[in-house]
Every structure is written in structure tokens, then in C-alpha cells.
Amino acid sequence: MDSMVIREIEKITEEYFTLLEDYFGTIYIPGLDVSLQAFRIEKYQLASKMLIASIEDLQKDLFNFWEKHADRMISFINNSNIFKTTYCGNISPLNHNGFINRTALYVDTILIKEPIGYLMFTKPISTDEAYIYNIIQHAFNLFELKKLFFGEGAIPLFIIIPPIFDEKGQNEIYGIAEEYGTQYVNNVLESDFNEREEIFEYLSSINDLETIKQLIKNPQLIDFRGMSVEDYLMEVHENISGTFQNGNDFSIGKTLAFKIFGQFSNISYELTHAIGLNSQIIFDRSDYWDLYKNHFIFKSDPDTLILESLQQSEFKWLINYDMEKFNILRNEEELVQLRNILRKNIYNANNALTSEKVKYQVLSNIEEAFLDHTFMIDEINSKLRKKLSVDGLVVTGAAVSGLIPASLALLPLISTVTASYGIFDFVHQFSRLNKEKKELKNGVMGMLFDARTKK
């Protein structure tokens, strides 16, 4: 990406953050957990109501902001030859499972829809508590991630993109979600519903856990996140009914329908973004990965499978590296090298690719890269030891040749160099090797090697 384009993107981004800081900057506490801060503010009803009133103009300000910048931002992204991916999961990436660390190794940039304007559209249907909690949580989360929206002269890891406002785009998203969501419900229940409304009407009439459990003919299609069916359904019911203004009237069946079509709407929304911006799509949740791969038109391309593999438990150690340090080190050349390491023997695979095959090949590629890194460090250490044992002896002898008797056995060796040249050459070579070693240890691969071996 051209440096001029990077500067223009960062100017727009700086203006966006200035806008948010005008509304939220005085109540944000850096370093304190953003969910905890949101919870505390949401619990003080007076503070919540005052905040809701104070941000009434924000939606209009954000709309004006994107009217001014949306076309330029999208043009910059579409006309740049970078490896980009569109984020899908929470409203903004909270990085609870190291999603950012894992993804940053492979992509140039992660595109994130502007979350605050998106959330403000939910105000008419949300409870005040849920509304202000989400607004605060994600505004503060953006403040926590702010440094990653600026690339230290290189491509920013995060780029903010405008929400899809227009009616045509919204209808397209709704249509995709309805089509694939209805197919999914029919697969889970072994039913033959034709549209979303039929499903809501049917499930809304059911408020009994056992009845819904009996309706689920293919439970393997639902990610229960390790919970029992009953516990999962109750958690979904409590979360969703507590978010909507009239949620107390929701049946257990209705909240399940909201959960399913909410997932398909989120994926459809970001998939529309990804297609429009010619980017990959990336998820920070296993249930979204499963829904996308199994219930949308999914092509098993290597990049998507590599991105998915990095989110697996085998790569949990990636949360150990310092993201801010990596953000300073990363540049297009480093990222190309990292991608080439991770892609080795995957892009040229003759057999059909699967998630498992790709995951284990990526693991193998990283281990091989670590072996190469260790070998280079060991080779430098070996050269340093030789310098100390041989050249050091020459230099020491040369430096003191005027002080020792000529009859000593070292004199023939010492006489091959002058004192000044020997010392200079020794120091120069020794410094060069130490510099190479330091660069290896402090570079991206050294940082990842330390993260891999960290207890």
C-alpha cells in the first residue's frame, strides 16, 4: 500500500477517534477492563440516562462523518494491493481468545465495520441497559485498540469501514440471512419451512425446554459450547430476552429463533462487506466458522483454512507475544515472509484441502521455521566462540607484543598482524555477529519463538 494512501486512511481514522473521544473520552479509564467499565456505568441508572441523552447527536455526527469519508475509504481499500480480511464475530474484536494476535500473523489488515453507528440503530428495540452497555464496551474497546489502527508508517492492522446504511444493501443482507437461516433450521429440525416468518411464528408458541429439545433432530449442527442442551437454551433465552425492550414476553422458542437468525444476519452482513471489498472473511468464534463452512456457499480456499487454523487451540501460545511490539516490527516484507512460511506445502497441495490437514501443515511449517531460526542463532554463537578463542588470542598477543620477550612461542603468530589492525578487525567482526544475533532475536521470528517457549 502506498505511503500516501496510508497517511490518508490514518487521517480519516484520527478524525473518527477524535469524534468518539469528544463523547466518551472523559469517562474512559485506560487499562481497566472495558466490559467491567461498561457494566459499572450501565448499573448506575442515572449515569446511564444522562449518557444516553448526551450521545443523542452522535448518530447524526457519525452519519455526517461517513457521508464525507465513506467513498474515499472504500476506494482506498479496493484500489490497494493488500491481503485484507473482514472481521465477523462480536461488534468489535474483544480479543478474549487472542484473536488479534493469531490473525495479525497472516493478514496485512483487518477491516472492521464502524461499531458505534451500527449499535445506535438498535436503540429503538434495545433496553436502555443493554444499549448503553454495548455502546460503552465497544467505544472503550476501540480506545484500547487505537494504536493498531495506525501502522507506524506501514499498513495499519485495523481499518475502520462504514456500516451498510442503504436500503438496497440491507435488503440484500436480509435475503441472504433468510435463505441460509431457513435452510439451517430445516436441517436442524428436519422441517420444511419456507421462510423466516413461519419459523418465528412456530417457535414463538413454544416455551417448554423438553418440547424444543425433542424438536432438535440433529443437535450436532448446533455448537452448544460444551453445555447441555437445556443449559444452552436457557442461556440464550436469558441473554436475548434481557436485551429487547419487550423481551420478558419472549418464549424460549422465540429466543432460539432470534439466536439462529442473528448469527446468519451477522455472517451475511460481513460476507456482503467482504465481497464488496474483495477481501477474505475472518471469524473469532467457532460457531460462526462452522455455520459459514457448512451452511453457506463456501469454497475451501487455502487462505480461509489457514486463517481458521490459527484460531485453534494448538496455536493458543500466540497470545503470549506483545501485540504492540509486533505492530512496530510488522511491515509488508515481514508479512509476506510470514505468509510464505505458513503457506508452505499448502498452496501446492495436490490432495483436497481440509481444516485438519491445513492445521497440521501450518503447525509443521512453524516448527520448521523455528528450527531454522534456532540453527541460525547457534551458527552465530559458534562463530562468536571461534572469534573469542582464535582471533581474541591474536589480538591480545598483538596488543601486548611490545611488552613480552621476543623468545615466547606466540611471537610468530603475533607478528602476522599489527596491533591496530588486529584489534579493529576483531571488534568489527565481533560486533557484526552480535548485531546479527540481536536482530534475529528481536525480530518477528525471535518474538514468536519466545512466545512459543514461554511458560
Domain ranges of the chain: 3-163, 355-453
Give the three cell numbers for residue 98. 487472542
Residue 280, helix vs strand vs coil: strand
The enclosing H or E element of 85 equals strand 84-88
Distance, in Å, from the CA atom of 338 to the CA atom of 319, rounded to the nearest integer, reads: 17
What are the Cα distances from residue 81, in Å, to 73, 100, 129, 232, 276?
Answer: 14, 22, 43, 43, 15
Give the three cell numbers for residue 10. 490514518
Sort strands 84-88 and 109-113 into parallel, antiparallel or unpaired. parallel
In the prediction, which pLDDT does 110 show? 96
Q: Tell me which residue of 173, 187, 181 sits closest to 215, measured CA to CA.
A: 187
Sort strands 84-88 and 280-283 into parallel, antiparallel or unpaired. parallel
Write the CB contacts of 48 (distance below 8 Å, at least 6 apart in sequence).
Answer: 41, 42, 128, 129, 132
CB 102 within 8 A of CB 318: yes
SS3 content of the chain, % helix, strand, coil (to 5): 70, 5, 25
CB 150 within 8 A of CB 262: no
Distance, in Å, from the CA atom of 252 to the CA atom of 264, rounded to the nearest integer, reads: 19
Q: Tell me which residue of 335, 330, 342 sits closest to 368, measured CA to CA.
A: 342
| Residues of the chain below pLDDT 50 | 390, 392-421
444-453 vs 355-386: helix crossing angle, rounded to 10: 110
In the prediction, which pLDDT does 38 show? 85
Widest Cα–Cα separation across the chain? 107
Distance, in Å, from the CA atom of 3 to the CA atom of 155, rounded to the nearest integer, reads: 8
